[in-house]
Amino acid sequence: MRPCTVTFNLAAARHNLAVVRSHVGDTRVIAVMKADAYGHGAVRLLPAFADADALAVSCIEEAMELRAAGARRPIVLLEGVFRADELELCALGEFWPAVHSEEQLRMLEAARLPRPLSVWLKLDTGMHRLGFDPARAEELVARLDACPAVLQVRVFSHLACADQTESPSTVAAIERFRTATDGLGRERSLANSGAILNWPQAHFDWVRAGLVLYGATPRDDRYGPDDGLRPVMTFTSELIAVRELAPGEPVGYGEAFRARERMRIGIVAVGYADGYPRHAPSGTPILVERRETQLVGRVAMDMLAVDITAIPWARVGSSVTMWGEGLPAERVTDIAGPYEIFCALGKRVHVRVVDERP
């Protein structure tokens, strides 16, 4: 069996949810599980987030998968519905669709459903992706209130720069949201992971926790453990070959790396087809036998090379950690970031699920 393995720790996921609660007090927590729980497997992680007040995904396909797997909480559809016939499924499944466009609003106005549903009106407070002009909040809430298909209207928006601790645009977005929604008397949500950690004034009634639940922090120059988080995903493999390089000898495709002095090199059974970022440069941190060392040369489809000169006891079969326990994913790539590498795991990687306290 090829040793390339990803281990998911449910205890770490529960711990991270508790960390979120410690930041937000009585504010309710939506566990964001879109994109198959950021590549961790939504069904697999569901038991760890059973205590969240609600779940969130991008689309109804993801919501139905979670419901079929036994999810009991309401499930927010962050992009709302794509077609009108999804609304009936929302009503029956207790899915709470976002309403971010005039098209979605009109679908709701025309809908006659077996029972009315709860929706989240999305305002655009500066990200300029989805959502309505906040100045229209009152008028839009009134239109939704008038829909026979609508039971309850909540209001939300999304921040573009909440990961930064100093951010005039975030201050402005929070103010814009507050001003537009203060008089509405509706439950509100603005904060993602960055704002949960950095911007308590953005917590309102519900926070939407994504990345932090998986143990990584979006904050600049910090890593998950600095914020008390534990990695849920640990990506490991083993050395399958060891060799010596003489000064000047290259390793890997394109001879992209050359030894400056005598060097011991380990070849690891992991490549970009497994989800290791192909553009990770020489010098990217990696653990061999729990000791930190560096990637050298180009990442190939099935293999990569590491410097084991300073780890003389490393041999074929030695453990390698690409990221996770002992090496935060945030350290691995500045280019892709933890969001992207979590979502990119390859199909052939073996999966283990554990439930281990530290």
Ligand X SMILES: *Cc1c(COP(=O)(O)O)cnc(C)c1O
Is 129 marked as binding a ligand? yes
Taking CB under 6 A as the criterion, the residue among 39, 97, 210, 266 binding ligand X is 210
Applying the rule CB under 6 A, the residues between 146 and 185 that interact with ligand X are 158
- Residue number with CB closer to ligand X (218 or 252): 218
Q: Which of 105, 103, 125, 146 shows the shortest CA–CA distance to 189?
A: 125
Binding piece for ligand X, criterion CB under 6 A, among 12-20, 203-211, 258-266, 344-352: 203-211
Is 27 among the residues that bind ligand X (CB under 6 A)? Answer: no
Q: How far apart are CA 206 and CA 185, in angstroms?
A: 14
Is 208 among the residues that bind ligand X (CB under 6 A)? Answer: yes
Taking CB under 6 A as the criterion, the residue among 104, 192, 234, 321 binding ligand X is 192
Q: To the nearest whole angstrom, how small is the minimum distance from the Cβ of residue 301 to ligand X?
A: 29
Q: Which residues are catalytic?
A: 34, 253
Q: How far apart are CA 277 and CA 316, in angstroms?
A: 23
Is 216 among the residues that bind ligand X (CB under 6 A)? Answer: no
Query: b/e map of 296-335 (b: 16 or more CB within 10 Å)?
Result: bbbbbebbbbbbbbebeebeeebebbbbbbebbbbebbee
Amino acid in position 89: L
How many residues lie near ligand X (CB under 6 A)? Answer: 12
DSSP secondary structure, 44-99, as one string: HHGGGGTTSSEEEESSHHHHHHHHHTT--S-EEETT--SSTTHHHHHHHHTEEEEE
Applying the rule CB under 6 A, the residues between 62 and 121 that interact with ligand X are 78
Is 218 among the residues that bind ligand X (CB under 6 A)? Answer: yes
Q: How far apart are CA 76 and CA 295, in angstroms?
A: 40
- Residue number with CB closer to ligand X (140 or 161): 161
Strand partners, 264: 244
Is 260 marked as binding a ligand? no
Taking CB under 6 A as the criterion, the residue among 9, 104, 118, 193 binding ligand X is 193
Residues belonging to the binding site are: 129, 301
> Which residues are at the interface with ligand X (CB under 6 A)?
32, 34, 78, 158, 192-194, 208-211, 218
Binding residue positions for substrate: 129, 301
